[in-house]
Amino acid sequence: MRQKLFKPYLVGCALAAVVFLVAAFAYQGFTFDPRLIVFLILLLLNAHYQIFSVDGSRSFAITFPILFPVVALFGPAWACALGFLGTVSLDELDRDKLVLAYNQGAIGLSAGLSALAFQATGGIPALVVSLPVAVLTYSLLNHGLAMLVFYLRADQPALKWTFILNVFKTLIPSVALSAFFYFCFYHYDILGLFGAYFLFVVVRSGALLGHLETNYRIALIRSLMRAVHAKDPSLMAHLENVADYSKRLAKACRYPFWKMPILIEAAYFHDIGKLEINDSILKKSGRLTPEEYSRMQTHPTRGVEFLKEVPLPPAHKPIVENIAGYHHERYDGTGYPRGLKGEEIPLEARIVAVADTWDAMVGERCYRKPMPIPDAIAELRHVKGTQLDPVLVELFIELIENDNRSVHAVRSVTHRPMHVL
Ligand SMILES: [Fe+2]
């Protein structure tokens, strides 16, 4: 039944827009202002160069902010007409004509009704109220009509109600940008409109570069993690646990919050040098020979060398390399690879060292069962000040003792973490 309504619904929306357009022109009269052509060109440019985010959805759209001066100054008929004509991109021309007609009709109708709502709530003299009402009307209609399309289409999953919440998430920026375009056009006419659009494109390009960089880095980390998992699933589990413990300990010791995402990312990389260690050593079930042990001890330096090849942002590099390179330094200066002592060891490396040691003790190892929590706590106390930072050890123990959930989670660990070497 739903499916049968799909096509009539698309036709209905397109027709409703045409009826609205004719009725609105009949009511307000057909007065053409040549500046409307400029709006049309900007809208078409904007539609064609619309930016899509990685999940395929449109990044923050500025269709309405560009259209808003038309809504406010030229009335519902022109708002509907420009919404209808100005939002089609060249790429969309070869798609199903019925879907295209619906899309344009839905935007035209939303724009026209938004202009009506704008007038009904006081128009330009009451901009503080009428502008947010216009933005909300446009967005809610646009989203609501789209939700119905997904509901009626059998081959697509229905959109969740949270979809409509996006309207409220972007309400403030939409209102601000609409006001910005309106005032630029109102005070500086066409020049102001172009200026506002140019400024937006510059700002958006900058934001887009940052967005692309982040996506690229996340994709890179994911592929590295896939490689780690393929080599040894238990090493992957160890990296995940260490990242989680490190995050909690870093929070407890008031590690700067702006560096926290980098620390978590870096904790995942702390044993990345083990990718270059032979499986015969890495997966050995018995104790390592001195030769194998010294081979294993090269993994921090190998990790740093490996990470030098990874294009990380400049702010991430020192933290990531500190953790990979120094997580086996000991507080008393007898660790490796450099024999750093006390606070010479970077804070983030000291944090990860505690997390790493803990996960190695409470997890099942190749050659022994997981250590009971009280014994592991006693062992941590035993090595504080020699192997590990004493202050961080006490903070970590406090964390484990106070956090029942984490104790439970630790007890349920069933994987086999790697040697802590
Ligand atoms: Fe390690």
Entry field: residues in the chain: 421
Burial class (CB in 10 A: 0-12, 13-18, 19+), 79: buried
Q: How many helices (H) and strands (E) does the chain have?
A: 17, 0
pLDDT along the chain (421 residues), means of 10: 82 93 92 92 84 49 90 95 87 78 92 96 94 94 87 72 76 92 94 91 77 73 78 79 92 91 88 87 84 92 90 86 95 93 95 94 70 90 94 93 58 39 43
Query: Based on the domain organization, do 200 and 317 belong to the same domain?
Result: no
Q: Considering the domain boundaries, does residue 217 fall inside one?
A: no
> Could you tell me the distance, in angstroms and rounded to a whole number, from the CA of residue 210 to the centre of ligand 1?
32
> Could you tell me the distance, in angstroms and rounded to a whole number, from the CA of residue 412 to the centre of ligand 1?
23
Query: Based on the domain organization, do 199 and 244 belong to the same domain?
Result: no
> Could you tell me the distance, in angstroms and rounded to a whole number, from the CA of residue 300 to the centre of ligand 1?
7
Q: Which of 205, 220, 240 delimits the end of a domain?
A: 205
CA distances from 330 to 192, 250, 402 (A): 63, 18, 27
Burial class (CB in 10 A: 0-12, 13-18, 19+), 187: exposed
Number of neighbours of residue 344 by Cβ within 10 angstroms: 12
CATH number of the domain encompassing residue 114: 1.10.1760
Query: Based on the domain organization, do 305 and 375 belong to the same domain?
Result: yes
Q: Tokens representing 327?
A: 């997580």
Q: Considering the domain boundaries, does residue 421 fall inside one?
A: no
CA distances from 59 to 37, 49, 70, 79, 162 (A): 26, 11, 23, 23, 17
Q: Tokens representing 394?
A: 């006490």
> Could you tell me the distance, in angstroms and rounded to a whole number, from the CA of residue 267 to the centre of ligand 1?
10
> Could you tell me the distance, in angstroms and rounded to a whole number, from the CA of residue 119 to the centre of ligand 1?
67
Based on the structure, what is the number of domains in the chain? 2
Closest to 419 (Cα-Cα) out of 353, 367, 348: 367
The one-letter amino acid code at 213 reads E
Query: Based on the domain organization, do 13 and 137 belong to the same domain?
Result: yes
Range of the domain at 160: 3-205
> Could you tell me the distance, in angstroms and rounded to a whole number, from the CA of residue 270 to the centre of ligand 1?
6
Query: Based on the domain organization, do 67 and 166 belong to the same domain?
Result: yes
Q: Considering the domain boundaries, does residue 224 fall inside one?
A: no
Can you give the pLDDT at residue 100?
A: 86
DSSP per position, 293-310: HHHHTTHHHHHHHHHHTS
Q: Tokens representing 29?
A: 């009269």
Q: Are 67 and 86 in contact (CB under 8 A)?
A: yes
> Could you tell me the distance, in angstroms and rounded to a whole number, from the CA of residue 303 to the centre of ligand 1?
9
3-state helix, strand, coil in the chain (%, to 5): 75, 0, 25
Query: Based on the domain organization, do 275 and 139 belong to the same domain?
Result: no
Spatial neighbors of 280 by CB under 8 A, at least 6 apart, are none
> Could you tell me the distance, in angstroms and rounded to a whole number, from the CA of residue 1 to the centre of ligand 1?
61
Number of neighbours of residue 417 by Cβ within 10 angstroms: 23
Can you give the pLDDT at residue 214?
A: 72
Q: Considering the domain boundaries, does residue 212 fall inside one?
A: no
Q: Considering the domain boundaries, does residue 337 fall inside one?
A: yes
Report the C-alpha gap between 119 and 75 in whole angstroms. 8
Query: Based on the domain organization, do 153 and 276 belong to the same domain?
Result: no
Q: Tokens representing 307?
A: 């990470």
> Could you tell me the distance, in angstroms and rounded to a whole number, from the CA of residue 419 to the centre of ligand 1?
8
Query: Based on the domain organization, do 271 and 173 belong to the same domain?
Result: no
CATH number of the domain encompassing residue 362: 1.10.3210.10
Closest to 204 (Cα-Cα) out of 88, 59, 56: 59
Query: Based on the domain organization, do 247 and 341 belong to the same domain?
Result: yes
Q: Considering the domain boundaries, does residue 54 fall inside one?
A: yes
Can you give the pLDDT at residue 165?
A: 77
The one-letter amino acid code at 269 reads F
Can you give the pLDDT at residue 365?
A: 61
> Could you tell me the distance, in angstroms and rounded to a whole number, from the CA of residue 363 to the centre of ligand 1?
15
295-309 burial code (b ≥16 CB/10 A, e <16): bbbbbbebbbebbee
Q: Considering the domain boundaries, does residue 102 fall inside one?
A: yes
Query: Based on the domain organization, do 52 and 154 belong to the same domain?
Result: yes
Closest to 267 (Cα-Cα) out of 252, 249, 247, 251: 247
Spatial neighbors of 40 by CB under 8 A, at least 6 apart, are 82, 85, 86
> Could you tell me the distance, in angstroms and rounded to a whole number, from the CA of residue 263 to the centre of ligand 1?
16
Report the C-alpha gap between 49 and 47 in whole angstroms. 6
Q: Considering the domain boundaries, does residue 380 fall inside one?
A: yes
Query: Based on the domain organization, do 283 and 369 belong to the same domain?
Result: yes
